[in-house]
Chains A and B, each alone.
Chain A
């Protein structure tokens, strides 16, 4: 038997109703998919952005704030720690590498970060996609999304905490805080990291100190960049990134620099706390989206039961013409399950589109690139909706199966 001609006829009879049903199921599915995928994407992207930051050291205060400032480059006024710690740590046998992060300046809305050559290349992991890394004071390496071009002159300004400038534009606020007489030259560009550092301008930390009139931290004017800093006076920095040699070293270092006027922690600790909150919110949202899907399915189910009731006569005629019971059962069931399935498929697509759109907005806001992938949880959720919908469709199908033909023909 081939119930498809009748299924198609039934769907054609429904026309706009069928389209509306598919759209409703698709919306319900899309919301669930988007919430799940978004939450996971945010988790992965934020974790990836923290990849090169094994251990952070800063002045005692909020760990979350230091993470937001040092890794996600949200401007905040942070207290400084003694610059001599850089020398101490670079001599420490437990430390594979250490780099200062000196933030606080912006240029055309891009954060200017003072650090070392080694960290600019992410401990040797990155090669510039254009040009080269900085080799002397006054040179700058651009993140992938920075609007300057190689060779451009970059004039830094003092960033004001709480002032969120538009990137690519030097606004009046920025112009009024310009460090007069100082400029960097862009000499290279880094490949895309998918993190807020794509918008940052990396410069030697010595230059940041110079710009603020603190000297360069070295004994001579033309000393080689980077540690050790042998100057009379080594200026402070808001944060140090430490790459420990081994896991045990990491814990030892964290314990050591938790005292004596500093705090030390693994950014992962902070992220785990954030993710727990994020996960709770995500769970609430996905429960809400499942309830939402169930409500929509229930409404559709009632609608379809009513439609099937109106078609009693049509199905009775089929039976009088010789159609077996199973044929009518299949016609009713396939029609409904088909609508739900089409809605689920469309919902996956719509959910993907919604996720991409939200991710785009999110990236514009934060610089975190959320990679989108439909994960097993989303597919399982859609599968569940499909299963529930198909099972629910069996009820009206079974009702028409049991329907007496003579009663149906009487209408």
Chain B
């Protein structure tokens, strides 16, 4: 188990993320099974910044979901250090995810009815009753770091670039050791995409967290230490172009 952490303390240090013999099967419209993902062996070093590249449907999102423990593979295992994520029972897995993972989505998925501060501190409500002054301070600092000044604005009125900044601040709120980003810049115009991509990579590097980022965005992939291609043979790390 990772060190149990209160949300305002830094999470446990990043560990090695390891996929072994992972297979994920789906069924197509006619009920015939087909393999979505086949990863014989794939290891990510602690604190590495990894880009995932591959055509649509190649399994990038499934790989991120596996890493977050959102579902279990049909075969093989996913491990975080000595934690076998893929076999953790439900409640323990929820807890591990809450304490370890920060997730950034392509479509932000903020709660439009809540203001910026409430969106950023939302993960605190999963475990605590009241948000502490320390949590508010941390959320405020994160929002400032992301270039958000007014914390009282409702998410519904923010621009898309601002929304993704809020989403990144939310993902970082629990000081995750593993940041997973699924096409974080795909819904943004090029100028916003560059800013947000840069912030994401910067902050991940600062915090020492492992970053796994699926993207088509060449500029974003170029900021990573390594880029992995999915969909053409076994996964292997390549130096970013």
Contacts and interface: CB of A to CB of B under 8 A. Distances in A.
A325 B70 CA distance: 12
A236 interface: no
Given A321-B122, A322-B101, A323-B94, A404 B71 contact: yes
A322 B71 contact: no
A407 B191 CA distance: 32
Nearest to A323: B126
B65 A322 contact: no
Given A322-B94, A406-B65, A9 B101 contact: no
Size class of A's contact patch? 20 to 34
Interface string A307-333: 000000110011111111101000000
B29 interface: no
Contact of B90 (A10, A13, A313, A325): A325
A1 interface: yes
B163 to A, nearest CB: 13
A400 B99 CA distance: 23
A6 interface: yes
A227 interface: no
A2 B125 contact: yes
Given A319-B94, A406-B65, A406-B70, A327 B118 contact: no
Given A1-B126, A2-B125, A5-B122, A324 B95 contact: yes
A296 interface: no
Contact of B126 (A8, A327, A405): A327
A122 interface: no
A239 B53 CA distance: 103
Contacts of A10: 113
A12 B95 contact: no
B105 A317 contact: yes
A317 B103 CA distance: 9
Interface in B54-81: 62, 65, 68, 70-71
Interface in A314-361: 314, 317-325, 327
Interface of A: 1-6, 8-10, 12-13, 313-314, 317-325, 327, 404-406, 409
Given A2-B130, A5-B125, A6-B111, 12 more contacts: A1-B127, A2-B128, A5-B114, A5-B122, A314-B109, A314-B111, A321-B98, A322-B101, A323-B126, A324-B95, A404-B71, A409-B105
